């Protein structure tokens, strides 16, 4: 079981702008899960990347007066650089302008065309440029797209994929596979949507209107609809339609059960849970195991972040104030995966101070400074654990079991809650036993208390590695270079007597809200 491959993807982001906190969120969550499965010893692959074709990107390049490819090259580098700063460990950085992808998309289109899965017809519909989606009359709400985007009536010849043909098969797949669309309430939403007749999917754009895309192999006057091109990235990224990569494709895509988990925001659930699976069915390919829709980060006024209102949060601005690991921690901890949450610097700082600086940081620094003071910085010999210590040991040993169960159900918030509970318990234990007083009358008991506390810190540091890789590595180093291996979180009293414990500056210093710049 533990050898099963795990392949996780984020959406590939449009390169019309630099990443904001919503993009960083999805990428961090995917990174945490990847790092977790790697630590568990499972073969793991993590893909993120950029979506470079289509109207939005063409318009962004035009606005900058740049050739689209040059614009994409620059923007792709921005994404790469930001993910590096957030310590994202993706194995693949996907670009849809890579020639192998363009060729593979054309091969898929040709396969579907030859199989009669694509047909042409004159089409009249309401087109929303910002969504890049055609709507029918009945989709419109007050003359606008359901997303609120402006629409214009367009009439043109286009190519269509016979998506409707797969409607019943898709419904039955969703019903039979409870893991397929998550969280469950999103599955019900998709099933609700599928209760209406499904239209066929327009998969072409005439070059006269949009030239920045992958040319249709069977009609050079058209490019491919950007979503049809983009969704295929998940499969071309692991070798689809590339004869030299067939072993890779079998491992990461067609294995049974499927190793694939797509993580994405709730706003792009339909494209992922309706367009994509029907495309795969038509191509004769396996479906992903899970499509998981996360929620949105909203402003403190509970609004969607908006560029024009200046309420978009840039991840590096936050990182520069609180540090990369604290940002990763906040994003993983603050909201239940799937729900919306508010984002404000005040909320971030308050959580980081209470859970990392006060809870985790204080436990570490109190313990280490007392070991320095009373034991020359070396772990004392512990003869026997008292009842209170045994009780705390049980909590610590349960932590890994509970955290694992949560992470494997994609419950990051709850997984981190387990560690916070352990640290809270350890702080209480320390406060009750007052080793700073005990040391003056009963040194062996003080030694036992400090060692047991430090064991809790050690276990927390191993288990928090997927979320805060840098801080945890530094912490384990301070504990006499303790092993970071996952298995040592299920053992207690691993640190040996005599181990030199480093007592340094706080690992999680308190963070202050930056002062507002005085108005000029
Ligand atoms: N290019 C498409 C995806 C193609 S995948 C085959 C796209 N790109 S995007 O740049 O618009 O990024 C969308 C992702 O960012 C979505 O998953 C979306 O939910 C997420 N977010 C955008 N704003 C967000 C928040 N405010 N909060 C959380 N995530 C949000 O769509």
Residue 152's DSSP bridge partners are 127
Residue ranges lining ligand 1, Cβ < 6 Å = 11-14, 22-23, 25-26, 51, 230-231, 233, 264-265, 267-268, 296-297, 305
- Ligand 1 atom at minimum distance from 16 CA: 10
pLDDT for 309 equals 81
For residue 384, the CA-to-ligand 1 centroid distance in Å is: 54
CA of 17 to the centre of ligand 1 (A): 12
Query: What spacing in Å lies between the alpha carbon of 175 and ligand 1's midpoint?
Result: 26
| Residue 207 Cα distances to 54, 101, 214, 398, angstroms | 11, 20, 10, 60
Q: Whose CA is nearest to atom 21 of ligand 1?
A: 22
What is the enclosing helix (H) or strand (E) of 191?
helix 184-193
Residue 308 confidence (pLDDT): 76
Distance 29 CA to ligand 1 centre (A): 14
Structure-token match 């590939």, residue found = 12
- Give dist(CA 422, CA 458) in Å, integer: 11
- Ligand 1 centroid to Cα of residue 23, in Å, is 6
The pLDDT of residue 517: 61
Q: Cα–chain-centroid distance for residue 51?
A: 17
- Residue 124, pLDDT score: 86
Sequence-distant (6+) residues with CB within 8 A of 499 are 378, 379, 479, 480
Structural tokens at position 474: 């530094």
Residue 389: how many other CB atoms lie within 10 Å? 22
Tokens found for residue 61: 């390049």
Taking the centre of ligand 1 as the mean of its atom positions, its distance from the CA of residue 20, in whole angstroms, is 10
- Give the three-state DSSP class for 47: strand
Nearest CA to ligand 1 atom 24: 22
Cα–Cα separations (whole angstroms), residue 303 to 144, 296, 300, 311, 340? 20, 10, 7, 9, 11
CA-based torsion, 478, 482, 485, 491: positive or negative: negative
User: Which ligand 1 atom minimizes the distance to the CA of 23?
Assistant: 15
- Residue for token pair 């994202």: 88
Torsion, CA 218, CA 219, CA 222, CA 225, rounded to 10: -20
The pLDDT value recorded for residue 228 is: 98
52 secondary structure, DSSP code: -
Q: What is the pLDDT along the chain (520 residues), one digit of tens a residue?
A: 478 999 999 999 999 988 999 999 999 999 999 999 999 999 999 999 999 999 999 999 999 999 999 999 999 999 999 999 999 999 999 999 999 999 999 999 999 999 999 999 998 889 887 777 889 888 999 999 998 999 999 889 999 999 999 999 999 999 999 999 999 999 999 999 999 999 999 999 999 989 999 999 999 999 999 999 999 999 999 999 999 999 999 999 999 999 999 999 999 999 999 999 999 999 999 999 999 999 999 998 899 887 778 889 999 999 999 999 999 999 999 999 999 999 999 999 999 999 999 999 999 999 999 999 999 999 999 999 999 999 999 999 999 999 999 999 999 999 999 999 999 999 999 999 999 999 999 999 999 999 999 999 999 999 999 999 999 999 999 999 999 999 999 999 999 999 999 999 999 999 998 887 655 4
Q: Give 519: exposed, middle or buried? Use CB within 10 Å, 0-12, 13-18, 19+.
A: exposed
User: Can you tell me the distance from the alpha carbon of 42 to that of 308, in angstroms, rounded to the nearest whole number?
Assistant: 44
185 CB neighbour count, 10 Å cutoff: 10
The CA distance from 379 to 479, in Å, is 10
Cα of 137 to ligand 1 centre, how many Å?
A: 26
Rounded Cα–Cα distance for residues 220 and 58 (Å): 19
Burial (Cβ within 10 Å: 0-12, 13-18, ≥19) of residue 46: buried
Q: Are 296 and 331 in contact (CB under 8 A)?
A: no
Q: Among 20, 296, 313, name the best residue to mutate to test ligand 1's pocket (greatest count of ligand atoms within 8 A of Cβ).
A: 296
Phi, psi angles (nearest 5°) of residue 457: -60, -45
Closest approach atom of ligand 1 to CA 297: 27
What is the whole-number distance in angstroms between the Cα of residue 211 and the centre of ligand 1? 23
Q: Whose CA is nearest to atom 30 of ligand 1?
A: 22
Q: HSE-up of 376 (CA within 13 Å, CB side)?
A: 4
């Amino acid at each position: 079981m533990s050898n099963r491959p795990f392949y996780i993807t984020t959406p590939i982001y449009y390169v019309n702008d630099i990443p904001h906190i919503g993009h960083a969120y999805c990428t961090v969550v995917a990174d945490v899960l990847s790092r977790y499965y790697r630590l568990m010893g499972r073969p793991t692959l993590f893909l993120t990347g950029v979506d470079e074709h289509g109207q939005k990107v063409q318009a962004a390049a035009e606005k900058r007066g740049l050739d689209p490819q040059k614009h994409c090259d620059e923007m792709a580098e921005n994404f790469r650089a930001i993910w590096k700063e957030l310590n994202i460990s993706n194995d693949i950085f996907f670009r849809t302008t890579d020639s192998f992808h363009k060729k593979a998309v054309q091969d898929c289109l040709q396969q579907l065309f030859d199989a009669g899965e694509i047909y042409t017809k004159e089409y009249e519909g309401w087109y929303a440029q910002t969504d890049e989606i055609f709507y029918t009359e009945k989709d419109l709400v007050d003359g606008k797209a359901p997303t609120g985007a402006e629409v214009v009536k367009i009439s043109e010849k286009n190519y269509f994929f016979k998506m409707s043909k797969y409607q019943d098969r898709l419904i039955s797949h969703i019903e039979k596979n409870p893991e397929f669309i998550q969280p469950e309430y999103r599955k019900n939403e998709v099933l609700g949507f599928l209760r209406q007749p499904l239209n066929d999917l327009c998969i072409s754009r005439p070059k006269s209107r949009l030239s920045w895309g992958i040319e249709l192999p069977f009609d050079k006057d058209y490019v491919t609809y950007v979503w049809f091109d983009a969704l295929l990235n998940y499969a071309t990224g692991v070798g689809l339609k590339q004869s030299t990569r067939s072993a890779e494709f079998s491992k990461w895509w067609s294995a049974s059960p499927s190793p694939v988990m797509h993580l994405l925001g709730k706003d792009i659930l339909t494209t992922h849970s309706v367009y994509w699976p029907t495309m795969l069915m038509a191509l004769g390919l396996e479906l992903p195991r899970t499509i998981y829709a996360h929620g949105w980060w909203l402003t403190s006024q509970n609004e969607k972040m908006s560029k024009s209102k200046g309420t978009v949060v840039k991840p590096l601005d936050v990182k520069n104030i609180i540090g990369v690991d604290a940002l990763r921690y906040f994003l993983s901890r603050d909201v239940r995966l799937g729900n919306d949450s508010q984002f404000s610097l005040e909320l971030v700082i308050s959580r980081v101070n209470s859970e990392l600086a006060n809870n985790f940081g204080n436990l570490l620094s109190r313990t280490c400074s007392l070991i320095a003071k009373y034991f020359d910085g070396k772990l004392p010999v512990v003869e026997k654990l008292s009842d209170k210590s045994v009780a705390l040991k049980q909590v610590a040993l349960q932590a890994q079991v509970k955290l694992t169960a949560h992470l494997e159900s994609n419950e990051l918030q709850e997984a981190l809650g387990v560690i916070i509970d352990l640290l809270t318990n350890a702080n209480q234990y320390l406060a009750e036993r007052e080793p700073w007083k005990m040391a003056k009358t009963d040194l062996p008991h003080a030694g036992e208390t400090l060692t047991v506390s430090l064991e809790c810190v050690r276990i927390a540091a191993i288990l928090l590695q997927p979320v805060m890789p840098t801080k945890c590595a530094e912490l384990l180093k301070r504990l006499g270079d303790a092993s970071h291996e996952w298995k040592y979180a299920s053992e207690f009293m691993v640190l040996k007597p005599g181990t030199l414990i480093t007592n340094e500056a706080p690992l999680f210093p308190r963070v202050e809200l930056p002062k507002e710049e005085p108005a000029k």
